[in-house]
Structure 1
Amino acid sequence: MHADAPASEPAGEPREPRERREPGRPHPRHRAERVRNRRAGAMRRAVALGCASAIMGVSAFGAVAASADDDRSTTATASASPGASNAPADDTISAADVAVDEGPAVTSGLSVAAAPFTGGTQVTVTGEQLDEVASVVVGGTPATIVVADAGQLTFAVPAVSDTALGTAAEVQFADAAGLPVDVEAPAAVVAAGTSVVQPLEGELTGVAEPAVPMEPSTLTLTYTSDPGIDAQVSYVLAYWSSYNSGVYPVIDGYDCANFASQSLIARGWAMDGGWYLDLATGAMSPSWSSSTALRDYLYTRPDRATELGDAQRDLVKVGDIAQFDWDSSGDRDHTAVVTRVEHTATGTKVWVGGHTKDADYWDVDTALATGGGSVTYFSIR
């Protein structure tokens, strides 16, 4: 009896040939699942899946080789069995996509491309896992996150020095660990006029099929001027020494609040029953001409201004109102208009312009060093 023949076969009878692969029939193939190639992490995922595909391809090839070896030592009993099918089994091996947490990512541009340097403009971006974004920085200055969910984030543009006018400030995002968040933009897979040849079903490629990838990008916001603030500060710089007495009355010895009120008119404010000047008669409200009364009026108008202490100097912007209490009595002795703000590594510097202490750029720190007392601000909306 032949050693490879089954016991039921008569000795000496010819052995049935083992099944051979028909000419032209392909070997078992492997096709990688479509993988989303979105960012650096996704690229790593695609590579990992490619490796897995290669391993599975090798394993499949090894299985085929092992099957061939087994065929040399055993007869094809399955083919000899009644009712057995010679149809090939499905030889497509599919690699399952692997879910990888790649963290938050911004996948859109800014909702606005430019904003006034005075801050406050709300800007929105869209993306993925944006509720994990912990901080936003615009041109090196922290911005306030207004609201964030998984798909959308809105932040308020910070106020900066007027020296930033016209500059394009980079907008950066970070997660709670301080790690930068990817900013991505869609990119074309192929150039216009070219075609992509899709692999045949079951074809072994060893790599993920191409999808629309996301390329690293940089978002920038351009700082612009505010027409109202430009008009206000231009008025202060034009009349801090000449007084514009042809239009407005001059109050000898304490014209500071009167001049600050004039600047707010230049900015676009409208008079009301609590703050006014009648140019025909010269009648004016106390809030128009008195620093303390102006403070009390602004307390009643949160829609127009918000008070800031000197510890909040980093929030002060050009066009805001500065008020000094020289003797620390609790009232306000002098009012001026902020004409310059500079944010430095050691803190924020503020300069003011006004009347009585006639100045275009008076350093607030110098004012406090020479006059004593304290300073507060009203952030004008």
Structure 2
Amino acid sequence: MRHRLPSPHTFSGQRSAVAGGAAGIAIAVCSFLVLTIGAQPIGADSANSADAAALDSAASSSRSAATITSAPAAVKQAVALAEPAVASGPVTGGTVVTLTGEELTQVSAVQVGGVPAAVVEATPTTLSYQVPVAADLSTGTVPVELFDVTGAAVSVATELPAAETSASAAGTAALPADGGAAAADSASEAAAAGATANAASGDAAVPGLHGVLAPPAPERGSEMLRALVLTPAAAAAAEAAKAAAAADAAASASASQAAPAMLSFEYLPDPRVTAQTDYLLQHWADYNPAYMAIYGNDCANFTSQGLIARGWQMDAEWGYSEAGGGSAAWVSSTAFRDYMAAHPERGVAIGDDQRASLKVGDIAQFDWDNSGDRDHTATITRIDKTESGVKVYVAGHSKDSDYWDVDVAIAGGGSVSYWGLS
């Protein structure tokens, strides 16, 4: 078999083909290298910077979208000092007592010896109330209690509590409600030294406050999150402050239990009523010769004498003179009724169904035939509160008596009404 050698033209074509193929391979390899180099990071530092920038950007976006809400402020409770300006007064009531303290506008009700008292004025630091008539007109010291709108008792102390401070304030940075970046950056500057120390020593991150967890590594995460991390020293200081506050509270509670503070009021005899009743009980059977007696109809005359002893001043309508005797309002039961109705500053009308509001020294008037006129006038000298109701007793003339039972007086018919004196 004869072999044909390739012609020179054939070798040339093959060389051209090989060269072309090599060139193609070289181009492909170069392209691959270029693509590979473009896909690889330039260096580790560049990669870390890019990652940190991405994390900071994400945290910044989250920070802008999130809202950090501060804890609600504690509601201060009302406290009254056990040092009233006036602690005593007559059994007939009317004494105005002023207390001092804190948040006293929360006080909505006052009781003196279990009897409601009228609140005259309340400010954050003062409370004034008017003492009611003593129960059963009894003298002595009774407790005073204050209540808020919920019916809870208001605290009474010998001194005002110290201002409260937040134990965690030393370890946290104040942030606005919108979680602004400026506040976070300011907070991060304050905590930068502690965060750097933790990172250098390898200390484990302490959980953040209010449920916010610390970032996994000091160099990652936003500055705001790092600022919320308490350093071990700050955490220890916060715990120490809390322990000290708890000890102070326990000591205060112990002292309070040992000697509980309280408010009280001492009811004293009303000198006006004492003088009035003393006069009536002295002269109910032994007529005073200083006054002209109207035998058989001396009831209003005798009642008026008792009011003079009480301290009332005569006027043009109600008065007595040795020469002319007493005026119509002084000696007539019906005229005395009309005088009282025209002078509310002297007293107010009280029905028989309101006996619970009566007091010793008030005036009773009877209408024996229910005609509308007043047929008899007397003065209350005793009040008994029983399970069956209020019993009232009077002193007077023309039914000469010191303690005449009102119910017995109207048992045969008629009605009774009263004047509650000022």
TM-score, scaled relative to structure 1 = 0.65
Equivalent position to 1:236, from 262, 273, 280? 280
Contact kept? 1:106, 1:182, Cα under 8 Å: yes
SS at match of 1:178: coil
SS at match of 1:365: helix
Per the alignment, do residues 149 and 312 of structure 1 end up closer, same or farther by CA in structure 2, a change over 3 Å counting? farther
- Which residue of 2 is the match for residue 80 of structure 1? none
- Which residue of 1 is the match for residue 321 of structure 2? 278
- Which residue of 2 is the match for residue 260 of structure 1? 303
Instruction: Tell me, in whole angstroms, the C-alpha distance in 1 between the residues paired with 2:387 and 2:244.
Output: 48
Which stretch of the first structure deviates more once superposed, 211-220 or 297-306? 211-220
- Which residue of 2 is the match for residue 30 of structure 1? none
Does residue 168 in structure 1 map to residue 168 in structure 2? no
> How many angstroms does 1:133 deviate by?
2.5
Does residue 183 in structure 1 map to residue 183 in structure 2? no
Does residue 296 in structure 1 map to residue 269 in structure 2? no
Contact kept? 1:130, 1:151, Cα under 8 Å: yes
Count of aligned residue pairs for this structure pair:
275
> How many angstroms does 1:345 deviate by?
5.6
- Which residue of 1 is the match for residue 103 of structure 2? 129
The structure whose RCO (Cα within 8 Å, separation 6+) is larger is 1
Of Structure 1 and Structure 2, which has the larger fraction of its residues in strand? 1
Equivalent position to 1:224, from 252, 268, 274? 268
- Structure 1: which 5+ runs fail to align? 1-6, 9-95, 190-199
SS at match of 2:320: coil
Does residue 340 in structure 1 map to residue 314 in structure 2? no
Instruction: Tell me, in whole angstroms, the C-alpha distance in 2 between the residues paired with 1:103 and 1:311.
Output: 41
Contact kept? 1:162, 1:340, Cα under 8 Å: no
1:1-381 alignment, distance < 5 Å: 99-101=73-75, 103-161=77-135, 164-165=138-139, 167-186=140-159, 203=237, 205=240, 206-209=242-245, 210=248, 215=256, 216-244=260-288, 246-279=289-322, 281-344=323-386, 347-368=389-410, 370-381=411-422
> Cα deviations across residues 161-215 of structure 1 (Å, max 9, x unaligned)?
56511x11101122233222222222899xxxxxxxxxx9974524244599584
Q: Pairwise CA RMSD of aligned residues?
A: 3.0
Which stretch of the first structure deviates more once superposed, 299-308 or 352-361? 299-308
Greater radius of gyration (CA): 2
Instruction: Tell me, in whole angstroms, the C-alpha distance in 1 between the residues paired with 2:76 and 2:405.
Output: 49
Per the alignment, do residues 103 and 113 of structure 1 end up closer, same or farther by CA in structure 2, a change over 3 Å counting? same
Of Structure 1 and Structure 2, which has the larger fraction of its residues in helix? 2
Which stretch of the first structure deviates more once superposed, 342-351 or 173-182? 342-351
> How many angstroms does 1:102 deviate by?
5.1
SS at match of 2:158: strand
Contact kept? 1:105, 1:182, Cα under 8 Å: yes
> How many angstroms does 1:319 deviate by?
1.0
Instruction: Tell me, in whole angstroms, the C-alpha distance in 2 between the residues paired with 1:161 and 1:361.
Output: 20
Tell me the amino acid that sits aligned with residue 374 of structure 1: S
> How many angstroms does 1:265 deviate by?
0.9
> How many angstroms does 1:303 deviate by?
2.0
Tell me the amino acid that sits aligned with residue 256 of structure 1: C
SS at match of 1:186: coil
- Structure 2: which 5+ runs fail to align? 1-42, 45-69, 163-232
> Cα deviations across residues 7-46 of structure 1 (Å, max 9, x unaligned)?
98xxxxxxxxxxxxxxxxxxxxxxxxxxxxxxxxxxxxxx
> Cα deviations across residues 134-177 of structure 1 (Å, max 9, x unaligned)?
32211122222223343332222111256511x11101122233
Contact kept? 1:254, 1:356, Cα under 8 Å: yes
SS at match of 1:253: coil
SS at match of 2:275: helix
Instruction: Tell me, in whole angstroms, the C-alpha distance in 1 between the residues paired with 2:388 and 2:126.
Output: 34
Instruction: Tell me, in whole angstroms, the C-alpha distance in 2 between the residues paired with 1:219 and 1:148.
Output: 17
> How many angstroms does 1:261 deviate by?
0.3
Contact kept? 1:130, 1:149, Cα under 8 Å: yes
SS at match of 2:144: strand
Tell me the amino acid that sits aligned with residue 286 of structure 2: S
Contact kept? 1:325, 1:375, Cα under 8 Å: yes
Which stretch of the first structure deviates more once superposed, 231-240 or 323-332? 323-332
Tell me the amino acid that sits aligned with residue 333 of structure 2: S
- Which residue of 2 is the match for residue 70 of structure 1? none
Per the alignment, do residues 161 and 322 of structure 1 end up closer, same or farther by CA in structure 2, a change over 3 Å counting? farther
Contact kept? 1:161, 1:341, Cα under 8 Å: no
Per the alignment, do residues 187 and 174 of structure 1 end up closer, same or farther by CA in structure 2, a change over 3 Å counting? closer
- Which residue of 2 is the match for residue 193 of structure 1? none
Contact kept? 1:161, 1:340, Cα under 8 Å: no
SS at match of 1:101: coil
Tell me the amino acid that sits aligned with residue 294 of structure 2: I
Instruction: Tell me, in whole angstroms, the C-alpha distance in 2 between the residues paired with 1:371 and 1:122.
Output: 43
> Cα deviations across residues 199-237 of structure 1 (Å, max 9, x unaligned)?
x99745242445995844111111101212111100011
Per the alignment, do residues 97 and 352 of structure 1 end up closer, same or farther by CA in structure 2, a change over 3 Å counting? farther
> How many angstroms does 1:266 deviate by?
1.0
Tell me the amino acid that sits aligned with residue 420 of structure 2: S
Instruction: Tell me, in whole angstroms, the C-alpha distance in 2 between the residues paired with 1:356 and 1:111.
Output: 46
